[in-house]
């Protein structure tokens, strides 16, 4: 029946291969070895052969790099590459063929329980950093598996919920990071998401898995399901899924779909073929495990993730100052999130121990609160009573493991009340107060002015304690930047009214206005804007020069000078603001991040970065015509240190993309008046009218403009349906006018 080279393998065996063999391995066949898969995104969680069937037990020790929330804050693609390489080395050394990561879903709401596993609220930051992770991992002959494709932006009801989302929001917000990674880094595998998208399971979505992913983007790897995401194995394979994980034992369902003709045998063979390709691609791992080297990379990444949000000069700490360190997080660090990504680290040092190592002055400690969240006034009393003996209080606050994890979303952005009470009591002692946060999802900071300095320590992986101590003491100059906005209140967040939905549906009502695209367009106050982060030095943006590099393409060169007295890194950000348009059917965000570059400068040093802008950076998704569209006009290239700290602006003129949408049968007179084919006709028609009708009142003219031309056919004006059809046909590109 088929001439496929796989056909000598019995149909039943082929149908069995497209579901795994065990929780962490794929099946074997003559000429096809079993592949070992392991989470995850920020460290290898490999249980080896002795693993339990659910895959939740303890895994072999492996280096825990900063989770995506930390890596995202580094804004450093070269560093992401190094982390990827180290992950690949770790995997190769542990016998892992396929890493289940990186995670690159967009942080739609700060309440997302799994936001710590995702990089940013912005698709450009997510795509660029994830692409480097993929390149790094695969340079070691190990496959990466970007996940969860797609629109997996919440944990609530994640296995059933349907995201109702516009095509434009898909194209501009939820898909571009995946698109970038697929086109630029060519991952060998991809993981489909649990949820539905506009009613169709992502794992059974023919448009998503085949038309878009393979057809448009050219993906040539293997698509596996998230663990347990497949509802109907036959439908999933027919849609473009290649491997169901973990095995469900439903080979009979695959055979039934083949028998019924709903699953072509060619689709099954294509899936088996992709398993072969994946096995070939990972056949000769080039990675070499060096735990000490990987631990050093984990420290580098943790250092660059730390984001200094506010500082009145209290940081870095004076070398011999007497410190009172308060907060259980200083002694018992929270450095990664809960769920499938949890790594069994090779070693962990607390910030408290690291401070005792690095700081010359006395370092005393009080727990202040427990991580269980139960009120214990005696702990708080003890901390407050000792504050007076210190020169500075360093208070570690954050979210404990039970506050955020894979599997559920948060319901508040507030820190636990006992922590806030403690903060206010410590502030009342009059001692300078430095607050250090440990959290995977952003928290509200209404108390921020109470602190003399505020350090966002995210989740930093196993080396986080050391990195935090270095930043506090000044051994490291912080250079993290916010990859997600810190809002003033939960109620300000763009998805507040619809997250996480109900009755199996979540409506993405904010559409493309996610994160700073919303706050900046609607001028809403934020606590700290997207892209923000301070340094112990200062930077001057001296000059930006723009030169054309092709049609709708420019190269921007920005010169930055370190004006302080310490070496430090600046993240130069480039936003594009669209031409001003009147409110209408297509509104656009005030500006969108289209490029960035991180540069390390010695004191007084001047350096330059270049950032390229291409046609896609100007475009929006025209849903009616299903294409990217570039309007002609003046675009502003904004160069700055955050989305709200734009230092230099340059205008560039775009001729547009020259594409004109064809008219439709229901197009209005106004649309006819603007279309190049019909504009002369409308003008001639107007000129032919009696003078008194040509001078119609503006409100009547506006009414006429909004009228579909087809309606005129019934008004006795001599316009016939046939004429309209004929003219509309002539506006279709390629038709002879
Ligand atoms: C998670 C995936 C993970 C898989 C295997 C799922 O629950 O969503 O991200 O890779 O489990 O552990």
The DSSP-derived string for 31-73 is TB---BEEB-TTS-B---TT--TTS-S----B--PPPHHHHHH
Does the beta carbon of 117 lie inside 6 Å of ligand 1? Answer: no
Per-residue pLDDT band for 209 (boundaries 50, 70, 90) equals very high
% the chain with pLDDT above 90: 89
For the Cβ of 100 lying below 6 angstroms from any atom of ligand 1, the answer is yes
Q: Whose C-alpha lies nearest to ligand 1, atom 7?
A: 227
Mean pLDDT of 692-715: 84
If you average pLDDT over residues 110-115, what whole number do you get?
98
pLDDT in tens, 259-275: 999 999 999 999 999 99
What integer pLDDT is reported at residue 700 of this predicted model?
Answer: 80
Cis peptide before 270 (omega within 30 of 0): no
| Sequence ranges of the domains in the chain | 26-49+73-281, 307-477, 539-654, 669-730
Q: How far apart, in whole angstroms, are the C-alpha atoms of residue 384 and residue 422?
A: 8
Find, among 153, 146, 71, the residue nearest to 115 by Cα. 153
Let me know if the fold of 307-477 is the same as that of 539-654: no
Whether 129 has a pLDDT exceeding 80, the answer reads yes
- Look up tokens 């904010």; give the residue: 510
Q: What is the mean pLDDT of residues 565-583?
A: 92
pLDDT band at 735 (very low <50, low <70, confident <90, very high): confident
Pick from 348, 325, 326, 327: which is nearest to 336 by CA? 348
Residue whose Cα lies nearest atom 4 of ligand 1: it is 227
Q: Can you tell me the mean pLDDT for 26-37?
A: 97
Q: How far apart are CA 545 and CA 557, in angstroms?
A: 5
Q: 110: closest CA among 69, 166, 151, 169?
A: 69
Q: What is the mean pLDDT of residues 178-186?
A: 98
Separation of alpha carbons 313 and 430, rounded Å: 16
Nearest Cα neighbor of 464 from 59, 41, 120, 64 is: 64
Active site residue 226: yes
Q: How far apart are CA 79 and CA 85, in angstroms?
A: 10
Where is average pLDDT lowest: 11-15, 503-507, 731-735?
731-735
Q: Is 24 in the pocket of ligand 1 (CB under 6 A)?
A: no
Where residue 4 falls among pLDDT bands split at 50, 70, 90? low
What pLDDT score was predicted for residue 664?
94
Give nearest CA residue, ligand 1 atom 11: 227
Q: Residue 172 burial (CB < 10 Å; 0-12/13-18/19+)? A: buried
Please tell me the predicted confidence (pLDDT) of residue 719.
87
Q: Which residues pair with 646 in a beta bridge?
A: 640
For the four alpha carbons of 469, 470, 473 and 478, in that order, the dihedral sign comes to: negative
Count CA atoms closer than 13 A to 46's CA, side-chain side.
23
pLDDT digits (tens, 9 = 90+) for 470-502: 999 999 999 999 999 999 999 999 999 999 999
Q: Is the CB of 43 under 6 A from ligand 1?
A: no
Residue 119's nearest CA partner among 342, 305, 294, 298 is: 305
**Measured distance CA(531)–CA(485) in Å, rounded:** 8
Q: Label residue 584 by pLDDT band (50, 70, 90).
A: low
Distance 39 CA to ligand 1 centre (A): 7
Q: Say if residues 332 and 473 touch (Cβ distance below 8 Å).
A: no
400 near 437, Cβ under 8 Å?
Answer: no
Mean pLDDT (whole number) for 670-688: 90
Measured distance CA(641)–CA(578) in Å, rounded:
19
CA dist., res. 368 & res. 350, Å (int)? 16
CA–CA separation, 454 vs 528, rounded Å?
11
d(CA 553, CA 216): 22
Pick the CATH number of 539-654 from 3.40.309.10, 2.60.40.10, 3.90.650.10, 3.30.1330.40: 2.60.40.10
DSSP string for 280-330 = HHTSS------HHHHHHHHHHHHHHH-EEEEESS-PSPPTT--EEEESHHH
- 151 near 170, Cβ under 8 Å? yes
**Overall residue count recorded for the chain in this entry:** 737
Which atom from ligand 1 is nearest to the alpha carbon of 145? 10
The pLDDT assigned to 1 comes to 41
| CB 42 near ligand 1, within 6 Å | no
What confidence score (pLDDT) does residue 736 get? 62
Q: At what angle do helices 123-138 and 176-185 cross, to 10 degrees?
A: 30
* Percentage above 70 pLDDT, the chain: 97
Residue 3's pLDDT band (cuts 50, 70, 90): very low
Pocket test for ligand 1, best of 100, 115, 117 (most atoms within 8 A of CB): 100
What is the predicted pLDDT for the residue at 279? 98
Looking at 122, 226, 242, 409, which residue is catalytic? 226
CA 340–ligand 1 middle distance (angstroms): 5
CATH homologous superfamily for the domain 26-49+73-281: Glycoside hydrolase, family 3, N-terminal domain (3.20.20.300)
- Rounded to whole angstroms, how far apart are CA atoms 131 and 139? 12
**What confidence tens digit (pLDDT) does each residue in 316-367 have?**
999 999 999 999 999 999 999 999 999 999 999 999 999 999 999 999 999 9
Nearest atom, ligand 1, residue 148 CA: 9
Determine whether the shortest distance from the Cβ of 195 to ligand 1 is under 6 A.
no
| C-alpha–C-alpha distance, residues 87 and 71, integer Å | 13
Task: Identify the weakest region by mean pLDDT among 167-171, 382-386, 677-681.
Answer: 677-681
Ligand 1 binding pocket includes 147 (Cβ within 6 Å): yes
Structure tokens belonging to residue 113: 């329980």
Q: pLDDT digits over 653-672, tens only?
A: 999 999 989 999 999 999 99
Residue 583 has pLDDT above 90, yes or no: no
Q: What is the value of pTM for the model shown? A: 0.96
- Beta bridge partners, 548, equal 554
Average pLDDT over residues 630-647: 97
Q: How far apart are CA 163 and CA 158, in angstroms?
A: 10
Residue whose CA lies nearest to ligand 1 atom number 3: 340
Separation of CA 468 and ligand 1 centre (Å): 29
* CB contact set of 224 (below 8 Å; sequence gap of 6+): 37, 145, 189, 190, 191, 192, 241, 242, 243, 244, 245
630 and 615 Cβ atoms separated by less than 8 Å: yes
228 alpha carbon – ligand 1 mean position (Å): 9
pLDDT of residue 198: 98
pLDDT of residue 517 exceeding 50, the answer is yes
What Rg do the C-alpha atoms of the chain give, in angstroms? 28
Give backbone dihedrals phi and psi of 441, rounded to 5 degrees, phi first. -115, 155
Q: Residue 563: is it exposed, middle or buried by C-beta count within 10 angstroms (0-12/13-18/19+)?
A: middle
Atom of ligand 1 at shortest range from CA of 55: 12
**What atom of ligand 1 comes closest to residue 152's alpha carbon?**
8
Verify whether ligand 1 is closer than 6 Å to residue 418 (CB atom).
Answer: no
- List the single range of 59-73, 215-229, 313-327, 705-719 with lowest mean pLDDT: 705-719
530 lines ligand 1 (CB under 6 A): no
Burial class (CB in 10 A: 0-12, 13-18, 19+), 334: buried
State the SS3 of 146-167. CECECCCCCCCCCCCCEEECCH
SS3 223: strand
Token pair 């690095």: residue: 358
Closest protein CA for atom 6 of ligand 1: 227
pLDDT digits (tens, 9 = 90+) for 297-323: 999 999 999 999 999 999 999 999 999
- Among 382, 387, 396, 397, smallest CA distance to 322 is for 387
Contacts of residue 523, defined as CB under 8 A and 6 or more positions apart, other chains included, come to none
Residue-wise burial string across 216-248, b where 16 or more C-beta atoms lie within 10 A, e elsewhere: ebebebbbbbbbebbebbbbbbbbbbbbbbbbe
User: Which of 28-37, 301-310, 577-586 has the weakest average pLDDT?
Assistant: 577-586
For the chain, give the mean pLDDT: 95
Coil/strand/helix, residue 621: strand
The whole-angstrom separation of Cα 461 and Cα 306 is: 12
Pocket test of ligand 1: the residue of 157, 226, 229, 343 to mutate, having most ligand atoms within 8 Å of its CB, is 226
The CATH number fitting domain 307-477, selected from 3.30.465.10, 3.40.190.10, 3.40.50.1700, 2.60.40.10: 3.40.50.1700
- Decide if pLDDT at 51 tops 80: no
Q: How far is the CA of 227 from the centre of ligand 1 (A)?
A: 6
Q: How far is residue 303's CA from residue 11's CA, in Å, rounded to a whole number?
A: 53
Ligand 1 centroid from CA 667, angstroms: 48
């Amino acid at each position: 029946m088929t001439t496929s080279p796989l056909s000598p393998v019995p149909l039943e065996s082929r149908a069995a291969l497209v579901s795994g063999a065990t929780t962490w391995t794929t099946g074997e066949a003559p000429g096809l070895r079993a592949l070992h898969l392991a989470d995850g995104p920020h460290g290898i969680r490999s249980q080896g052969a002795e693993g339990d069937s659910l895959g939740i037990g303890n895994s072999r020790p492996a280096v825990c790099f900063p989770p995506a929330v930390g890596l995202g804050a580094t804004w450093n693609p070269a560093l992401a590459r190094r982390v990827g390489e180290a992950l690949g080395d770790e995997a190769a050394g542990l016998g892992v063929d396929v890493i289940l990561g990186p995670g690159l879903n967009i942080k739609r709401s700060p309440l997302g329980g799994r936001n710590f596993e995702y990089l940013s609220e912005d698709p450009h930051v997510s795509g660029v950093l994830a692409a480097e992770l993929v390149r790094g991992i695969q340079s070691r002959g190990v496959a990466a598996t970007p996940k969860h494709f797609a629109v997996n932006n919440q944990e609530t009801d994640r296995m059933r919920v349907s995201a109702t989302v516009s095509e434009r929001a898909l194209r501009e917000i939820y898909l571009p990071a995946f698109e970038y990674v697929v086109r630029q880094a060519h991952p060998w595998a991809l993981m489909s998401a649990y949820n539905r998208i506009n009613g169709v399971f992502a794992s059974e979505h023919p448009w998503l898995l085949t038309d878009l992913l393979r057809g448009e983007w050219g993906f040539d790897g293997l698509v596996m399901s998230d663990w347990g995401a497949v509802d109907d194995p036959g439908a999933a394979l027919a849609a473009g899924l290649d491997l169901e994980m973990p095995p469900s034992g439903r080979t009979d369902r695959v055979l039934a779909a083949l028998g019924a003709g709903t699953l072509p045998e060619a689709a099954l063979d294509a899936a088996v073929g992709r398993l072969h390709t994946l096995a070939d691609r990972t056949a000769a791992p080039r990675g070499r495990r060096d735990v000490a080297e990987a631990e050093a990379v984990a420290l580098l990444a943790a250092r660059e993730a730390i984001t200094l949000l506010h500082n009145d000069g209290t940081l870095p700490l004076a070398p011999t100052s007497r410190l009172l360190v308060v907060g259980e997080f200083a002694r018992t660090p929270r450095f990664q999130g809960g769920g499938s990504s949890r790594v069994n680290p090779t070693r962990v040092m607390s910030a408290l121990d690291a401070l005792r190592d690095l700081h010359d002055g006395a370092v005393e400690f009080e727990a202040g609160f427990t991580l269980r969240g139960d009120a214990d006034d005696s702990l708080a009393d003890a901390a407050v009573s000792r504050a007076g003996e210190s020169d500075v209080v360093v208070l570690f606050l954050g979210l404990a493991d039970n506050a955020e994890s894979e599997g559920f979303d948060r319901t508040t952005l507030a820190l636990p009340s006992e922590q806030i009470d403690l903060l206010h009591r410590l502030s009342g002692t009059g001692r300078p107060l430095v607050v250090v946060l440990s959290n995977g999802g952003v928290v509200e900071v209404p108390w921020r002015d109470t602190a003399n300095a505020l350090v966002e320590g995210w989740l930093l992986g196993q080396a986080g304690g050391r990195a935090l101590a270095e930043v506090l003491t000044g051994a490291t100059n912080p250079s993290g930047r916010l990859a997600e906005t810190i809002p003033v209140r939960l109620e300000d967040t763009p998805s507040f009214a619809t997250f996480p939905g109900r009755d199996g549906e979540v409506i993405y009502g904010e559409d493309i206005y996610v994160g700073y695209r919303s706050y900046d367009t609607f001028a809403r106050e934020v606590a700290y804007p997207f892209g923000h982060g301070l340094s112990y030095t200062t930077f001057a943006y001296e000059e930006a020069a723009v030169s054309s590099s092709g049609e709708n393409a420019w190269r921007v060169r920005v010169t930055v000078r370190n004006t302080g007295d310490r070496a430090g890194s600046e993240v130069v950000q480039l936003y594009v603001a669209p031409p001003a348009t009147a409110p209408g059917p297509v509104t656009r965000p005030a500006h969108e991040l289209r490029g960035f570059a991180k540069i390390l400068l010695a004191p007084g040093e001047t350096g330059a970065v270049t950032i390229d802008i291409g046609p896609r950076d100007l475009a929006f998704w025209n849903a009616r015509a299903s294409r990217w569209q570039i309007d002609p006009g003046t675009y502003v290239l904004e160069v700055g240190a955050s989305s709200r700290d734009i230092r230099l602006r340059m205008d560039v003129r775009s001729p547009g993309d020259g594409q004109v949408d064809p008219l439709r049968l229901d197009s209005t007179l106004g649309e006819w008046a603007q279309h190049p084919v019909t504009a002369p006709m409308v003008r001639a028609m107007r000129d032919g009218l009696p003078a008194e009708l040509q001078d119609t009142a503006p409100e009547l003219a506006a009414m006429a403009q909004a009228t579909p031309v087809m309606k005129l056919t019934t008004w006795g004006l001599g316009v016939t349906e046939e004429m309209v059809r004929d003219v509309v046909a002539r506006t279709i590109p390629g038709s002879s006018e």
